[in-house]
Homo-oligomer: A and B are copies of this chain.
Amino acid sequence: MTNTANSGTTALLTDHYELTMLQAALRSGAASRRAVFEVFARHLPHGRRYGVVAGTGRLLDALEQFRFGPDELSFLRENRIVDEATLRYLSSYRFSGNIWGYPEGDMYFPGSPILVVEGTFAESVLLETLALSILNHDCAIASAASRMVTAAGGPGQAGRPLIEMGSRRTHEAAAIAAARAAYIAGFASTSNLQARFTYGVPSGGTSAHAFTLVHDSEKESFAAQLASLGPGTTLLVDTFNVEQAVRAAVEAAGPRLGAVRIDSGDLPAHAVSVRALLDSLGATETRIILTGDLDEYSIAGLAVAPVNGYGVGTSLVTGSGAPTAALVYKLVARSDAPLPDGEPAELDALRPVAKRSVGKPGRGGRKWAVRERAESGEAMTERILLAPPSGLGPADRVLLRELVRDGKITGREPLADARARHIAALGELPGYALQLSRGYPAIPTIFGRDGDRA
């Protein structure tokens, strides 16, 4: 039963019950009903003031690979997971519907429909697990990363650069996605080489304590690193005694030493004393990089310290207390009967549906979303509508974009666009949004037009 050979497909990154539902719906006829599923969060985690969309690009890649090949079909047959009629359906499975979504780097709030999937019930229900896995992970990381970037002084040239270095603290594949999500949210670089290989995220890093310890002395290790990596490198100075190490580093490298890294101890105090020492040694351009269990709060606390950059690991890849984004994938509308092939669903043909569970109410009907902005450009309202938006104000932004049309992926974009979008979206939020303390969503989500009941 053990088999690792199907790395080319994403089809089994799926909960068992998606396939049993498919089987029963094929038999009942509901499989071919037109359906709209939406991904949204009922709440932001942890008193956060906004969430950041990430993962959409990865989802499009994964959708393209969502195919049941001979290995998957044999597996499902031999384990009697579904019947022959269902296997026949799966053998030719291609998502043929439409998907819209908030683009990566944009913000979301409670109720924001960040993904809208329209197709047959059969083809759409199968994507639930994969869509949620990707979006819940990547949005959680990007949402935490954005706050860290703000704590470090803001995105772009305004703030101190952040390097993502949490690969070792999370699943080896999640690490790649985390580096990508952090980059979207404004991190400058990553330690993860696969993230550079796959997504072009800039990577960096020089040495660890082991490099110092494998040499006969710290002095010899500095000489070895400088001989190989040049004076622009970053020397790690907290293996034994920070002050002695900084002196040895400048002695070995000269005043053109690129940077020193401090990974432990009283970081704010070290920053001040090391800056003074570097300056006194003539190394006025040598940068100070701090690492070691930093999070957005400790970074904010270092704002007045003479620091040039930060490395963030554990807190980034674990979402700084919110490792998952609480996004759900819910059926919100369906037709009463199958629609003729290839014909788009008339809005009127879709009936809103929602469960009425205590504590987890749904809100039926397909949604459209607008970020209403004042003339100044400041975001005021996350407006969620049950019809395509009309009568927009001059500064309002329509939030959903086409990602997939008739099964064809149309919404790919370079990662740089998502980075730029995040800076712009951050700039439109009210100042309240950028505070790190627990609070309410930065703007209210309002369903329907003012005065409507939605």
Is A136's CB under 8 angstroms from B168's CB?
yes
Is B170's CB under 8 angstroms from A133's CB?
yes
When chains A and B are docked, how far (Å) is the Cα of A215 from the Cα of B357? 17
Q: Is A158 an interface residue, CB under 8 A from the partner?
A: no
Quote the shortest CB–CB distance from A90 to chain B (angstroms).
Answer: 12
Is B170's CB under 8 angstroms from A19's CB?
no
Known: A132-B169, A137-B170, A204-B16. A6 touches B197 (CB 8 A): yes
Q: Is A286 an interface residue, CB under 8 A from the partner?
A: no
Is A213's CB under 8 angstroms from B354's CB?
yes
When chains A and B are docked, how far (Å) is the Cα of A121 from the Cα of B33? 61
When chains A and B are docked, how far (Å) is the Cα of A129 from the Cα of B196? 15
When chains A and B are docked, how far (Å) is the Cα of A140 from the Cα of B288? 33
Q: Which residues of B contact A119 (CB under 8 A)?
A: none
Is B197's CB under 8 angstroms from A134's CB?
no
Scoring A residues 228 to 240 as 1 if CB is less than 8 Å from chain B, else 0, what string do you get?
1100000000111
Cross-chain contact of A20 among B3, B10, B207 (Cβ < 8 A): B207
Residues of A within 8 A of B (CB-CB), count: 117
When chains A and B are docked, how far (Å) is the Cα of A79 from the Cα of B168? 23
- Minimal Cβ-Cβ distance residue in B for A334: B214
Is B137's CB under 8 angstroms from A171's CB?
yes
Q: Which residues of B contact A171 (CB under 8 A)?
A: 133-134, 137, 170-171, 173-174, 177
Q: Which residues of B contact A209 (CB under 8 A)?
A: 330-331, 355, 357, 362
Is B356's CB under 8 angstroms from A240's CB?
yes
Is B12's CB under 8 angstroms from A228's CB?
no
Q: Which residues of B contact A292 (CB under 8 A)?
A: 360
Is A224's CB under 8 angstroms from B13's CB?
no
Q: Which residues of B contact A357 (CB under 8 A)?
A: 209, 238-239, 263-265
Quote the shortest CB–CB distance from A425 to chain B (angstroms).
Answer: 24
Is A206's CB under 8 angstroms from B129's CB?
no
When chains A and B are docked, how far (Å) is the Cα of A330 from the Cα of B394? 58
Cross-chain contact of A214 among B132, B133, B331, B362 (Cβ < 8 A): B331
Is B358's CB under 8 angstroms from A265's CB?
yes
Quote the shortest CB–CB distance from A363 to chain B (angstroms).
Answer: 13
Is A13's CB under 8 angstroms from B196's CB?
no
Scoring A residues 183 to 209 as 1 if CB is less than 8 Å from chain B, else 0, what string do you get?
000000001111011111001111111
Add 12 more A-B contacts to A213-B354, A292-B360 (CB < 8 A).
A4-B61, A10-B172, A14-B194, A19-B193, A20-B206, A20-B207, A23-B228, A37-B210, A128-B210, A172-B173, A263-B360, A318-B324
Q: List 14 A-B contacts (CB under 8 A).
A: A6-B194, A12-B197, A16-B192, A20-B228, A21-B210, A24-B207, A75-B197, A79-B196, A79-B203, A83-B228, A128-B210, A133-B167, A137-B171, A263-B360
Which chain A residues have a beta carbon within 8 Å of chain B's beta carbons? 1-4, 6-8, 10, 12-21, 23-28, 30, 33, 35, 37, 61-62, 72, 75, 79, 81, 83, 121, 125, 128-130, 132-134, 136-137, 165, 167-177, 191-194, 196-200, 203-216, 220-221, 223-225, 227-229, 238-241, 263-266, 292, 314, 317-318, 323-324, 326, 329-331, 334, 336, 353-360, 362
